[in-house]
Structures are given as structure tokens and as C-alpha cells.
């Protein structure tokens, strides 16, 4: 399913918003990422794909200053990122299981947290804060759930709540770690549509995803990582989703289903899977 937002032209500027130069980082003595370089232009929408354990989440956390740097340099929005100096004006959507959902706060309380640095010294919301929070909840379609305890939210609602918390501070960069994981089709499409809208508004977006068929194939730019945590290809999906890259990425042979009429990979709005392992392809007689 392709959203209308995806059909509009994007406004990618040439100036880089994110620059990673020859970065090696990790926890303790063992590096997780080795000698990784990456440039993300301002306003770009980048998807990071790769097998489990490839270091996708670590790459995202690097941008936030959450992973100790061994060597190399990271700049985000012109700021040199270190553990003591996370980049300003960034919205982060972590994986759902990273927090305690039994914590006694409402959805609105959690969303307001994303605005903490911009609020006054008092515990209560100003009129402007209230307006911004309400508009953000409305945009995510969860205004009616504002007073609900977070432990009473479904998985899809929790994803939207995280997104609302990231957006309520009007970030210029959005970093998302599998924002559509375990979502139903409707939630997944709504989230992708919203992200496309934000991309067209000029927000730089970097997200990880495991969903090659339904998410990654629709993104403007992809960064492919293999199990050695190396960036093996980057570019638009039509360029990087080749059998060679996919097979290197996942360490198994993959087949791309072709459109019978024109011989090109199936269109991104195809309802079914376009990338199959050889075993799957044989099973369905392709």
C-alpha cells in the first residue's frame, strides 16, 4: 500500500544533517560497529535494514550519543555528538520493550515528557504546551486516549504514543527503532503515511526496520548492513534491492519476484511479498 504522501516530491537538501566518519564504537572492549561511515542529507528519509544483530539499533543509538565511541566522529545538525552532549532537537522512538509499561502515568503524561526541555519551571502545562500536546495527539489519532494509563494501551497505541512523544517537541531529526514492529496493517500504514508527511515537511528521518516488503521498499533511501555490521550498500530501494545485495545482507540466497509483464521487481504497492528465500520461492512454484 502506497500512501498519497509518498507520491509527493520530497525536499531533500544537499547539506548533510548527519555525518558519521570512520566510526568504531561499542560497549566495553569489543566494538559493535567498525569503521562505519554514513552521510544523511538534511530532509532525507533513510531506512536501515539488515539481519538481526547487524548493529542497526547501535547505529541509531550512536546518533543519540548513547554508545561509547572508540574512534571516528559523529556530527548531527552540525553538533559533534558525545555521550555528554546528545544532539539537540532530536526525537527518538525506541523499541516498545525498552520501558516499563506499568509505570503509573497516562498517555498524555508520557507524551508531555517529550516537551520537558521546552517547558517552564512549573509542573503544570502552559496554554501553549497544552495546545501543542493536543494537536500532536490529534495528529496521531490518540487524543481520545489521553487520560488512559499507558499499561492499558494496545501495541499499536503504544507505538503512536512513542511517536507523539517524539513529535511534541517539533524535532528537526526523527530517529525511530522499528516503529512498526508488531503493528497491524492499519497502524503500520498510518505510521508510514505520517512519517512520509513529516519527510515532506522537511524532517530528517532515520529508522530501522525488518519489514523489507511492506516498509523498506517504500522508503526513499536505504542503508543495508550485513551480519558483520558493515554497510554493504545504500541507495533507493530499486537500486539496492538486488538479489546480490539481499543475499549478502542475510547470508542466504533470496529471489526477487518479477512482474510478469514488464520483468521489473513488483511495484511497491503490491499486496504480497516480493522478496522470497529460494525455499519459499520453490514452495509456491516461482
Partner 1 sequence: MQAFVEPLGYEFFRHALAAATLVGALCGLLGVYVVLRRMSYIGHGLSHSVFGGAVVSHLIGWNFYLGAGLWGFLSALLINAVTHRHKVGADASIGIVTTASFAVGVALISKERSFTRNFEAALFGNILGVTTGDLAVISSVTVVVAAAVFIGYKQLLFTTFDAEIAATYGVPTRWVEAGFSLALAATIVAAMNVVGVTLIAAALVIPPSTARLVTDHFGRLLSLSMLIGAGCGGGGMFLSYWYDLASGATIVLLATGIFGIVFTVTHLRDPLRRSLPFTQL
Using CB atoms within 10 Å of the CB of residue 204, give its burial: 0 to 12 exposed, 13 to 18 middle, 19+ buried. Answer: buried
Cβ 113 to partner 1, closest distance in Å? Answer: 4
The piece of 48-56, 100-108, 212-220, 242-250 that touches partner 1 (CB under 8 A) is 100-108
Question: Residues with Cβ < 8 Å from 245, sequence gap 6 or more?
Answer: 224, 232, 233
| Contact call for residue 109 and partner 1 (CB under 8 A) | yes
Among 59, 67, 112, 219, binds partner 1 (CB under 8 A): 112
107 and 142 in contact (C-beta within 8 Å)? Answer: yes
The piece of 72-80, 82-90, 131-139, 277-285 that touches partner 1 (CB under 8 A) is 82-90
- Give me the count of residues in the chain: 286
| Contact call for residue 26 and partner 1 (CB under 8 A) | no
180 and 191 in contact (C-beta within 8 Å)? Answer: yes
Cβ 2 to partner 1, closest distance in Å? Answer: 31
Cβ 102 to partner 1, closest distance in Å? Answer: 5
| Contact call for residue 151 and partner 1 (CB under 8 A) | yes
| Contact call for residue 94 and partner 1 (CB under 8 A) | yes
Question: Residues with Cβ < 8 Å from 262, sequence gap 6 or more?
Answer: none
Among 18, 67, 110, 167, binds partner 1 (CB under 8 A): 110
| Contact call for residue 98 and partner 1 (CB under 8 A) | yes
CA 215, 155, 194, 231: dihedral to nearest 10 degrees? -40
Among 16, 55, 65, 179, binds partner 1 (CB under 8 A): 65
Among 119, 232, 257, 270, binds partner 1 (CB under 8 A): 119
CB closer to partner 1, 103 vs 251: 103
Size of the site for partner 1 (CB under 8 A): 31
Among 7, 9, 14, 104, binds partner 1 (CB under 8 A): 104
CA 238, 194, 96, 108: dihedral to nearest 10 degrees? 170
Question: Residues with Cβ < 8 Å from 29, sequence gap 6 or more?
Answer: none
| Contact call for residue 161 and partner 1 (CB under 8 A) | no
The piece of 5-13, 64-72, 177-185, 197-205 that touches partner 1 (CB under 8 A) is 64-72
Among 169, 179, 237, 265, binds partner 1 (CB under 8 A): 169
Q: Which of 105, 38, 106 is nearest to 73 (CA)?
A: 38
Cβ 64 to partner 1, closest distance in Å? Answer: 4
Question: Which residues of this protein are in contact with partner 1, per CB under 8 A?
Answer: 27-28, 64-66, 86, 88, 90, 92, 94, 98-100, 102-106, 109-110, 112-114, 116-117, 119, 121, 123, 149, 151, 169
Amino acid at each position: 500500500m502506497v500512501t498519497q504522501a509518498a507520491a509527493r516530491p520530497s525536499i531533500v537538501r544537499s547539506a548533510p544533517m548527519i555525518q558519521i566518519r570512520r566510526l568504531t564504537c561499542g560497549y566495553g572492549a569489543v566494538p559493535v560497529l567498525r569503521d562505519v561511515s554514513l552521510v544523511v542529507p538534511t530532509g532525507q528519509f533513510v531506512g536501515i535494514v539488515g539481519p538481526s544483530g547487524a548493529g542497526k539499533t547501535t547505529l541509531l543509538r550512536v546518533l543519540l550519543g548513547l554508545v561509547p565511541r572508540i574512534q571516528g566522529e559523529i556530527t548531527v545538525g552540525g553538533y559533534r555528538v558525545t555521550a555528554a552532549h546528545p544532539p539537540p532537537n532530536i526525537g527518538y522512538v525506541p523499541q516498545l520493550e525498552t520501558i516499563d509499561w506499568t509505570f503509573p502515568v497516562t498517555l498524555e503524561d508520557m507524551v508531555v515528557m517529550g516537551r520537558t526541555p521546552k517547558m517552564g519551571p512549573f509542573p503544570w502545562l502552559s496554554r501553549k504546551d497544552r495546545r501543542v500536546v493536543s494537536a500532536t495527539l490529534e495528529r496521531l489519532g490518540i487524543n481520545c486516549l489521553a487520560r488512559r494509563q499507558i499499561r492499558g494501551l494496545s501495541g499499536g497505541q503504544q507505538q503512536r504514543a512513542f511517536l507523539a512523544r517524539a513529535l511534541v517537541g517539533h524535532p528537526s531529526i526523527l530517529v525511530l527503532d522499528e516503529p512498526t514492529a508488531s503493528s497491524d496493517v492499519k497502524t503500520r500504514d498510518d505510521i508510514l503515511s505520517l512519517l512520509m508527511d513529516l519527510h515532506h515537511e522537511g524532517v530528517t528521518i532515520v529508522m530501522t526496520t525488518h519489514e523489507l516488503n511492506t516498509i523498506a521498499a517504500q522508503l526513499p533511501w536505504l542503508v543495508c548492513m550485513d551480519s558483520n555490521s558493515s554497510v554493504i550498500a545504500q541507495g533507493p530501494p530499486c537500486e539496492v534491492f538486488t538479489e546480490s545485495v539481499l543475499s549478502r545482507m542475510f547470508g542466504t540466497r533470496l529471489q526477487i519476484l518479477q512482474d510478469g509483464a514488464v520483468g521489473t521487481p513488483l511495484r511497491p504497492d503490491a499486496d504480497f511479498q516480493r522478496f522470497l528465500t529460494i525455499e519459499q520461492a520453490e514452495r509456491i512454484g516461482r
